[in-house]
C-alpha cells in the first residue's frame, strides 16, 4: 500500500478537479522494530528526542497491520517507542512498514471534490486530515443516497457566512466520521436548503463512540445526525444564534440511533427521534420537538422557547419551564418523577386526552410555582391530576 500523496507535500487527485491541500512532508519512515496494543517501536534511526512525534500521525503502509493510521500521543527517544491515542485493530510487528507525518488540510470549493460511488472509493479513512472545510460554493456530492463517504478530520467546517463561500451549497454531504480518531468537532455555518434526497437533510453524518462524543456547533443550516434507520452516532450539540442576517436558523434532525449527552439551543428547530436517554436538554430559544422513546433526565424550556413533548419517554430529573411545554400530542403514559418547576410566563399543557401523566405510575405530579402565582402561568391539565406547591 502506498502512502497517500497528501503525506508527501504534494496534491492527491481522486477525481477530476478533486484537490487535497498537502500537509507538511512526512518526517519519519522505515521498518518497525516491534509493536503492541497501543505502541509501535520505530526504526533504530528514529529521533532520540522525547515527544518529537507527538500529534503526528503514524500510517502503516506495509506488512502486519497495513492500512491503519493513528495519532501519536507519546514518544520515548531512547527506546523509539511511540504510543498511539487509540489501540490498534491489528498490532504492528517487525514486518510492519510505517510513515509518520502531519495530517493534511482539505478545502472544497466550486466544483471540486465530487466523491461518490461512481468516481472514487467511499472509504477515505486512511487519510486523516487536520481539518475539512466545505464551502458554500461547492455544489458537488459526497456519498450516495444510502452510503456515506468515510472521511476523517479533527475539525469539520460546513458552509460559510457573508464574504466566505457564496453559493447554494451541496445537495448531498453524507459523511461517516468514524470515532474520535477521525473527527472531534463539527462546525456548521450554513448548508444548502435543498437536498438531493427530498425526504432527508442535505448534510447528514454519523460517527463518534460511547467514550468519544463528537461536538457539533451549529449556527445555521439543515442537517441530520443518524438520520437513516440503523445508523448510530454520539454527540454533544450546541445550536447558537446565526451571526449574519443571511443565515437561516438551524433545522436539525436527530435520528433514533443517535445518543446525545447534551443539547443546548438558542434558536432554530430540532426534531428529535432518539431512542436513547438524554441527560441534559436546555432549550433557551427556538422549538424543540421530541418524538422518540428515550427518557429525559434534565429539561429546561426558557422564556420564548417551546418544547413539544410527543415522545414516549419519562422525565426523570429536573424540569424547568418558563416557556411552552406541550405534552398534549401523545396519549402514551409518562412519568414526571420530580415534578415541574414553573416560572412566570410558563405555558404548560398536560391534556393528552388520558389520565396517565403521573409522578410514578400512580400518584399525581407536582407543579412547583417558582416565585410566582398560578395566575402568572397558563396550565391545562385535562384528566391528569396535578398538585400545586408554591415555593
- Asked whether 345 and 367 are in contact (CB, 8 A), the reply is no
Residue 308 corresponds to which cell in the numbers above?
413539544
Which of 76, 101, 126 finishes a domain?
Answer: 101
Tell me which of 86, 101, 116 is where a domain ends: 101
| Residues 133 and 107: beta-carbon distance below 8 Å | yes
Closest CA to 74 of 102, 38, 105, 107: 38
What global pTM score does this model have? 0.74
Separation of first and last alpha carbons in the chain: 69
CA distance 153 to 383: 52
Within-domain flag for 338: yes
Is the pLDDT at 144 greater than 90? The verdict is no
Q: What number of CA atoms fall less than 13 Å from residue 9's CA on the CB side?
A: 5
**pLDDT attached to residue 124:** 65
Any domain includes 46: yes
pLDDT of 228 higher than 70: yes
CA-CA distance, 199 to 183, in Å (whole number)? 26
Query: What contacts 24+ positions apart, CB below 8 Å, involve 319-324?
Result: 321/346, 321/348, 322/346, 323/283, 323/347, 324/348
Poorest-confidence range of 150-164, 212-226, 252-266, 370-384? 150-164
Q: What is the pLDDT of residue 100?
A: 83
pLDDT at 114 over 50: no
For the chain, what percent of residues have pLDDT higher than 90? 59
Residue 246 within any structural domain of the chain: no
In a domain, 31, yes or no: yes
Residue 183 lies in a domain: no
CATH code assigned at 62:
2.40.30
Among 66-75, 185-194, 209-218, the range scoring the smallest mean pLDDT is 66-75
Q: Higher confidence at residue 11 or residue 161?
A: 161
The alpha carbon dihedral of 117, 120, 124, 129 has a sign of negative
Residue 5 in contact with residue 59, Cβ under 8 Å?
no
- Domain extent, residue 31, equals 25-101
Please report whether residue 15 resides in a domain: no
- Tell me the per-residue pLDDT of 349-385, one tens digit each, with 9 for 90 and over: 999 999 999 999 999 999 999 999 999 999 999 999 9
For the segment 237-266, the average pLDDT, to the nearest whole number, is: 91
- Considering its fold, how many domains does the chain have in total? 2
Distances (CA, A) of 389 to 20, 324, 340, 365: 62, 20, 10, 11
pLDDT band, very low/low/confident/very high, at 220 (cuts 50, 70, 90): very high
Residue 203 inside a domain? The answer is: no
- Give the residue from 66, 86, 101 where a domain finishes: 101
In a domain, 151, yes or no: no
**Would you place residue 212 in the very low, low, confident or very high pLDDT band (cuts 50, 70, 90)?**
confident
Using one digit for the tens of pLDDT, what is the confidence trace for 264-320? 999 999 999 999 999 999 999 999 999 999 999 999 999 999 999 999 999 999 999
Amino acid at each position: 500500500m502506498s502512502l497517500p500523496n497528501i503525506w508527501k507535500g504534494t496534491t492527491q487527485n481522486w477525481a477530476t478537479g478533486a484537490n487535497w491541500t498537502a500537509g507538511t512532508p512526512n518526517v519519519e519512515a522505515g521498518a518497525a522494530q516491534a509493536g503492541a496494543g497501543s505502541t509501535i517501536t520505530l526504526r533504530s534511526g528514529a529521533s532520540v528526542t522525547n515527544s518529537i512525534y507527538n500529534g503526528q500521525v503514524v500510517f502503516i503502509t506495509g506488512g502486519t497491520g497495513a492500512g491503519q493510521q493513528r495519532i501519536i500521543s507519546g514518544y520515548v527517544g531512547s527506546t523509539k517507542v511511540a504510543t498511539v491515542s487509540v489501540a490498534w485493530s491489528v498490532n504492528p510487528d517487525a514486518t510492519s512498514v510505517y510513515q509518520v507525518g502531519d495530517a493534511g488540510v482539505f478545502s472544497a470549493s466550486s466544483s471540486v471534490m465530487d466523491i461518490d460511488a461512481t468516481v472514487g472509493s467511499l472509504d477515505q479513512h486512511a487519510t486523516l486530515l487536520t481539518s475539512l472545510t466545505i464551502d458554500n460554493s461547492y455544489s458537488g456530492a459526497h456519498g450516495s443516497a444510502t452510503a456515506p463517504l468515510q472521511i476523517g478530520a479533527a475539525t469539520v467546517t460546513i458552509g460559510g457566512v457573508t464574504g466566505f463561500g457564496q453559493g447554494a451549497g451541496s445537495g448531498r454531504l453524507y459523511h461517516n466520521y468514524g470515532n474520535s480518531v477521525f473527527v472531534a468537532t463539527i462546525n456548521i455555518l450554513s448548508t444548502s436548503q435543498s437536498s438531493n434526497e427530498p425526504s432527508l437533510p442535505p448534510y447528514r453524518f454519523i460517527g463518534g463512540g460511547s467514550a468519544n462524543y463528537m461536538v457539533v456547533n451549529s449556527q445555521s443550516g439543515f442537517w441530520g445526525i443518524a438520520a437513516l434507520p440503523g445508523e448510530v452516532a454520539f454527540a454533544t450539540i450546541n445550536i447558537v444564534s446565526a451571526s449574519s442576517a443571511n443565515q437561516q436558523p438551524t433545522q436539525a434532525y436527530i435520528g433514533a440511533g443517535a445518543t446525545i449527552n447534551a443539547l443546548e439551543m438558542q434558536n432554530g428547530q430540532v426534531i428529535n427521534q432518539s431512542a436513547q436517554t438524554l441527560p441534559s436538554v436546555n432549550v433557551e430559544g427556538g422549538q424543540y420537538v421530541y418524538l422518540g422513546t428515550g427518557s429525559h433526565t434534565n429539561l429546561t424550556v426558557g422564556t420564548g422557547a417551546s418544547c413539544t413533548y410527543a415522545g414516549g419517554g419519562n422525565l426523570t430529573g429536573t424540569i424547568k419551564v418558563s416557556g411552552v411545554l406541550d405534552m398534549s400530542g401523545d396519549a402514551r403514559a409518562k412519568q414526571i418523577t420530580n415534578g415541574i418547576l414553573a416560572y412566570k410566563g410558563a405555558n404548560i399543557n398536560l391534556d393528552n386526552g388520558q389520565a396517565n401523566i403521573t409522578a410514578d405510575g400512580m400518584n399525581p405530579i407536582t407543579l412547583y410555582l417558582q416565585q410566582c402565582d398560578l395566575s402568572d402561568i397558563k396550565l391545562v391539565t385535562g384528566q391528569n391530576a396535578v398538585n400545586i406547591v408554591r415555593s
